[in-house]
Each structure stands twice: as structure tokens, then as C-alpha cells.
Chain A
């Protein structure tokens, strides 16, 4: 079942296009990474999907509810953390969570239990009775994550959740997001920290200038953008094998890892599929002892830069 579905979702701000014809389907239980440079349309998309902004055209459904401005039935099923969460500074952290629990019509007992759990989870138990006005940016971000989880949402929208956190805080948040997967929560994670997205997301969408450039399973994406490069390392001297490879039509170039060391080198293939098929067979036929055979996979960052770079060209 689809947790999020967009059909031609478009948003214009006067003559400026915030989002252009977004078509997207996200399966339930997926952790979806929404990537894009600043001003690409990530926050615009999030605001429309959470019912805080009206699309200029197109339709979208979240957790089975068609999005409309301020729809209460939609809001019962979602959690939302904006990029810079703004709280009532005169409230304490616990008071804010109680207020949110009340808005979700949780019973006083449920609110108490949930507050304790969430404050513990985001490491704010000690600061729970302090006024939010005195919280650091990281603490506010953690409180923002706690309030977004108060109603155990079916779909959780996170806009740059780890941007204000220190490395340990980031790790904790990523662990929490990963844990949500076991509870069948769908997470829509907008972020510019590609390493975080790579670590937790199953599927990514890359957006630029309001248009979705690509939506793909993260492994498929890396495979698709894999550079045609094999890393090889043998127990013995492989000089004759290198000479053999250099004569093959699908081999573009062989580069030694270190000069004069012919046991470790990379093979750049002009035909990746043929290389994948023939290289293991050739190694076996030449009786070489393989220490390492690796198809070099790009990082998400490299894919991101390549995709946006191509667009620039």
C-alpha cells in the first residue's frame, strides 16, 4: 500500500515555480530520503504534504487521506518536524509535549507515559522542566523530533532533522529513524546531509529547481551510477594478465595502484556488462589467486553531484 502518493503536485509562488509536477509513490514502511540543493523545493513539498500549504495544481494522498489545507484527519496520522521548529518559549519541554499530546486527544496516562519515553529517547529528561526559551538549537531540534513522534504517526515528515545536532545526537536520531522502520512507520526525510540519507534510507528522490530528477532504490541508484571500474588484487605478480586485459576490446584502461606493483590494479571498462561477465572467467582461466575483486560503487554524494552536474551541463 502507498503511504504517500503525489500526482502532478505543483506549487507556484507568483511567477516562481516552487514545485513542478511532482509524481511520487512511496510504499508503507519506507524510509524515503528527499535530497536536493537549497531552494530546490524540498520544504515546499513537505508543507503541502503536511497540509500547511495549498498546491497550485495536482493532488496528493498521505496515509490514505487526500491532502487539503489544515485537514484534521490527515494531521492525526502524521508527525511533522519543520526545519527550524518554533516552540512557545515560555513553556517547559515537558509542558510542550503534554500540550501536543492533548491536541492529539491522548488520555492523561498515555500523555505521561509517552512524554517520559520520548524525553528519554531524545535525551531531554534532565532538561524537561526547563523553559524551551533556554534550550540550545540542538535541544530544540530534539524536542521537535519528540513532538513529531507523540502520536506514533503512520507517516513522519522530517525536514533536516539532524542539521543542528552534534555527531552523537545525529547518530541517536538516525538510530531512532531506523527503529521506526520496525514499527511500519513511513519516514519522509528531507536532508542535505547525504551521509545520513545513505545510512538510513531505502529509497531516495533527488529534486532540483522544483523538479524530481530521479527516484530510486538507493542500491539501484548506486549500481546505475557505478563507475565502470573494477578493483583487483592478486597474491602473485599479474603482469601477463594486465597485458592480456589491455588487448581486450571492452577494456579501456588498466591503472596500477602503485608503480611497479603489478599485483594490485584497477580496470576501467568501456562495456561494464561484458566486463562483469568476462573478468571472473578470465581470472580463473589464468590460474590467478584472487585477493580482492570489487566493483567500485559510488557514494550517494558522488551520484548527487553527478546528477546535478549533468543537469548543469
Chain B
């Protein structure tokens, strides 16, 4: 077994033992399941009054768009909360020093962290997507499984970027809060600027637009955004590793 696999196994056990895996999966499941239910029962949630509020007839597109928005927003917050401690906490406590006094590369250490978090979020998105798909089918009876799967894959890629960015920030600091703060500011700035003319063709935030397009059967392609996002994920990982390996423990 390579050091990466040994560390990945350790990280996954950590996610399991500390209930992080369970919490992340539960969060995605609740929001995945809740979105179609919320839309279906929304008229019943409206308080009775003399003023008549005309609600539009919701379609599967509305449900899926809302689901993608929720997954991206909740997912981004969850990714910051879960990943901000990844490296910073180990440096702060001293566990990184003891692990890295063994024949382990700092690259394997960082990569295993990101890989384990990616697997946890992949499990969460899968469960959430299944919940959303099943209830949408039960309530609305019409959702293209292939498109919905691809839409989740693209949204998942956006969350992978959020995780990679937060892990990078975590390797900059010994303080989890500083790491989380920097990640939040960075990701919010990215989301806000995604609509700007130059950014709309390349920003990872546009992945969510693409995800919604795919889910609603739209034919637009954003291969440039996909390429840039993959390159940015690799670069943030590389930056995190390079910064971390220069840090003294």
C-alpha cells in the first residue's frame, strides 16, 4: 500500500468515526428529499388569509433548479466547515508533526485529505440526488435520469473545487478559523464575480449554471469552464502542497 492509500484509509476512518460522513450524507439527503416535498406541499404551507396568493404550477425544472441551488449553497458551506480543519487542526495539535516524522510525503498527506473529503461529499451528493430523484418521480412523475445524473456530476465538480480551495486555505494557517474565513471570502468573491463578462466563460461558479441547463434538458456546453475548473482544482491542490511542505511543524 502506498502512503497515499494508508493515509486515505486513515482519513476515511476519521470521517466515519467522528460522524462527519454521517452528518454530510444526512444534510444532502434532507435537502435532496426536502426540495420536491417543499414544492409539492408549498400551497398547504401558505397561511389562510383574505388575500389570494396565486402560486405558479411548479414543474420538475423548478424543483431541479432549486435542488441544484440548494446543493451548491449548502454544499459550499458544508465544504468550508468540514475542510477548514483538515490541515490546520493537525498542525495546531501536533498530529501532523508525528505523522510526518514517518516516511510519508507531504503531497500524499494533503492529497489524501482532499480525496477523503471528495469521497464523503460524493456519498452525500449521491444520497441527496437519489432522494430528490425518487420524490420528484413520485410527485411529478417525470425526470430524465441521465440528465439529472450529469447535472449532479457537474454540481459535484463545483463542490470539489470548493473543497480543494478550502484545503489549500487550511494548509496556509495553523488556525482553523483563519482557514475557514479565507475560504469563505474567496468562494463568495468567486460566486459574486461569476457573472462578470470575463468570468462567465471561465469561473467555476458557472458550473452551476451548466448543471441547471443540463438538468432542464438545455443543450449549452461549458467545456472552457470545465477545463478551467479542473486546472484550478489541480492548482489549488498543488499550491496547498507547496505551501505545506515549506511549513515547519
Contact = CB atoms under 8 A, between A and B. Distances in A.
Contact of A103 (B93, B94, B103): B103
B59 interface: no
B59 to A, nearest CB: 46
22 contacts: A50-B101, A52-B101, A53-B248, A70-B100, A70-B245, A72-B103, A75-B104, A80-B101, A82-B94, A85-B94, A86-B94, A87-B95, A88-B14, A88-B95, A91-B13, A100-B102, A103-B3, A103-B102, A103-B104, A104-B102, A104-B103, A105-B103
Nearest to B95: A86
Interface in B190-234: none
Given A47-B248, A53-B249, A90-B18, A70 B98 contact: no
Nearest to A103: B102
Nearest to A51: B101
B103 A69 contact: no
Nearest to B104: A103
Nearest to A84: B94
B138 interface: no
Contact of B105 (A53, A72, A86, A100): A72
Contact of B10 (A47, A69, A73, A99): A99
A82 B3 CA distance: 22
B155 to A, nearest CB: 31
A141 interface: no
Of the four ranges (under 10, 10 to 19, 20 to 34, 35 or more), the interface on chain B belongs to 20 to 34
B20 to A, nearest CB: 11
Nearest to B5: A102
B98 to A, nearest CB: 6
Contact of A82 (B6, B98, B103, B105): B98
Contacts of A90: 13-14, 17-18
Interface of chain A, main secondary structure: loop
Given A52-B101, A73-B103, A102-B1, 7 more contacts: A75-B104, A85-B98, A88-B14, A88-B95, A90-B14, A90-B18, A91-B13
A170 B246 CA distance: 36
B146 to A, nearest CB: 40
Contacts of A53: 248-249
Interface of A: 47, 50-54, 69-70, 72-73, 75-76, 78, 80, 82, 84-88, 90-91, 99-100, 102-105, 147
Nearest to B99: A103
A103 B6 contact: yes
Nearest to B107: A70
Contact of A52 (B1, B95, B249): B249
A135 B77 CA distance: 34
A52 B248 contact: yes
B97 interface: yes
Contacts, number: 69
Given A47-B248, A53-B248, A53-B249, A86 B104 contact: no
B217 to A, nearest CB: 45
Contacts of A52: 97, 100-101, 248-249
Nearest to B96: A86
A82 B104 CA distance: 17
B93 A86 contact: yes
Contacts of A72: 103-105
B61 interface: no
Given A82-B94, A86-B95, A75 B249 contact: no
A54 B103 contact: no
Interface in B1-35: 1, 3, 6, 10, 13-14, 17-18
Contacts of B102: 75, 100, 103-104
A147 B14 CA distance: 19
B106 interface: yes
Contacts of A88: 10, 14, 95
Contacts of B100: 52, 70
Nearest to A99: B10
A102 B4 CA distance: 11
Nearest to B245: A70
A86 B93 CA distance: 6
B101 to A, nearest CB: 4
B202 to A, nearest CB: 35
A82 B10 contact: no
B98 A147 contact: yes
A82 B106 CA distance: 19
A5 B14 CA distance: 39
Contacts of A102: 1, 6
